[in-house]
Amino acid sequence: MQYDLNNEVLMKIFWSYAKRDDAKPNHVTQLLNQFEIVASQCLGDDIDIFQDITGLTWGSEWRQILENKVKQADIFVCILSPSYFNSKMCIQEVVWAMEAKVRIHPILYRACPKGFASQFSDSDKDAVILNSASSEVVNKYQYVDFTKLRNIAKDSTEVLNFLDGICEQIA
């Protein structure tokens, strides 16, 4: 557990996204950085955000760490896009969050013209579970639409106002 200076537990947030959406110029990571600033201001305290590229080390048992971090989180933020719904690992993270009853807060990052569901066709039983979880994430949990702000500078007034709005809801 991580604590603040008063020895109180920090809010733990898991940031779930598809790597393809964070390809240069790293817009998803830039969004996370601004989110962390705004959320800590709204809460009046530091927060603990887990992102795989900074939270995993070489040689670590990455899958077990991801599962533990998801299940220990207070809030699960998922960055929805076609790439997200095509990633088995992203949808597995959703499954873990639902199993642990973590508060799920989806952000629609990019329009999904093929719909809000994965269509994994593997013959194993996991494909059925993942396909079901992928549709449930938007059928059960209200998302906020970030699509029109995706290509705007992440420190712009528009993006910061958006982040203020969502961070006030999680505070």
Q: Which residue has the tokens 């699509």?
A: 147
Strand order in the sheet with 75-80: 47-50, 11-16, 75-80, 103-108, 144-145
Over 50: is that where the pLDDT of 1 sits? no
pLDDT average, residue stretch 151-167: 95
First-to-last alpha carbon distance for the chain, in angstroms, is 19
What average pLDDT does range 1-15 have in this prediction? 71
Q: Whats the size of the chain, residue-wise? A: 171
Per-domain residue ranges for the chain? Answer: 11-170
Decide if 24 contacts 18 (C-beta within 8 A).
no
Q: Given this structure, which CATH class describes domain 11-170?
A: alpha beta
- The answer to whether residues 44 and 6 touch, using CB atoms and an 8 Å cutoff, is no
Task: Give percent of the chain above pLDDT 90.
Answer: 74
Per-residue pLDDT at 124 exceeds 80: no
Q: How many helices (H) and strands (E) does the chain have?
A: 7, 5
> Over the stretch 37-56, which tens digit does the pLDDT of each residue have?
999 999 999 999 999 989 99
Query: For 49-91, what is each residue's pLDDT tens digit?
Result: 999 989 999 999 999 999 999 999 999 999 999 999 999 999 9
Q: Which two tokens stand for residue 167?
A: 């961070």
pLDDT at 119: 82
Phi, psi of 94 (to 5 degrees): -60, -45
Nearest to 116 by CA among 99, 140, 93, 96: 140
